[in-house]
Amino acid sequence: MAALLDAVSQVQVAAALIGLVVLLLWENAHPFFDLFRTSRREWSLHLVRNLLIGGLNALVIAVVFVGLWLWAAVWAEAHGFGLLNVWPLPGWAHAVGAILLFDVWTYTWHRICHRIPFLWRFHRVHHADTQMDVTTASRFHLGEIVLSSALRIPLILLFGAYVWELALYETLMFAVVQVQHANIVLPDRLDRALRTVIVTPAMHKIHHSRWQPETDSNYSSLLSIWDRLFGSFRMRERLDEIQFGLDAFDDDESRTFKGLMKMPLADHHRPDPESTDP
């Protein structure tokens, strides 16, 4: 299992790097929003800042949590513990079941992060990016990453998932997450067709709107079905009118690495969704 996990991890890293490079080239060649046309220096700082946050998160996960995930998966398999081990399943069904369970949990966790004020303090670091592009996919506060990674341990036990299934799920999810955050737009028919299955750039741009009813919609990360099932799916006609970011965090300090790390400590009450306008 360790050898398989190592192989999947290498594929995961390679896929993330290839996706980043391809989408950066696409954004620069055909951007949907002209975010950095007037300042390449601003683009460089934005890229370095977001990737530095992502790199720090990846390091903490690798050092602290991967071994714990492996232990949980090995223990669950050895003891026949977890939902996926109640009945004998063929390998493909076990993997599909694990991906579905992890994805509905990711949807649930994301929605909770918007609802519980303590968790929103961390998650707003992701939403405060006024210049959303592919690097925003890596921009999550370390506190949120630690909390979500720690919760993966009991989830692996509860699901009875193999750790390589988690790695496979995260590889698929992060590839889609990179695309959905990228400063690109797909042809309308293609985006419409794809979002019947997965989350697309058009769908996720709405989630990053600073208008609260749109911020609190489209929580899915990989499969779009969860928003449709749980009533949080939302679309709009004019994507070019979306304004990214959060109203309380447009100051210069909120654009710095230090400011982003301190953001959970800042006092800010979310507006009432019914009292705001787009």
Task: Write the burial class of residue 80 (CB in 10 Å: 0-12 exposed, 13-18 middle, 19+ buried).
Answer: exposed
Closest CA to 230 of 119, 112, 84, 98: 112
The answer as to whether 121 is a domain residue is yes
- Annotate 234-259 with DSSP letters as a single string: ---S-GGG--BS-GGG-SSGGGSHHH
For residue 276, tell me if it sits in a domain.
Answer: no
Domain assignment of residue 272, yes or no: no
Confidence (pLDDT) at 10: 76
Q: Where are the alpha helices (DSSP H) in the chain?
A: 2-29, 40-60, 66-79, 91-115, 117-127, 142-159, 163-181, 188-194, 201-207, 212-215, 225-229, 257-262
Within a domain: 200: yes
Residue 277 within any structural domain of the chain: no
Residue owning tokens 């050898």: 3
Looking at residue 275, its pLDDT comes to 45
Question: Could you tell me if residue 260 is inside a domain?
Answer: yes
**Among 18, 15, 23, residue whose Cα is nearest residue 132:** 23
Residues with pLDDT less than 70, the chain:
1-8, 37-38, 268-278
Q: How many domains does the chain have?
A: 1
* pTM of the predicted structure, to 2 decimals: 0.92
Structural domain includes residue 278? no
Angle (CA) 188 186 177, round 5°: 125
* Domain assignment present for 74: yes
Q: Give the domain extent around 146.
A: 2-30+39-267
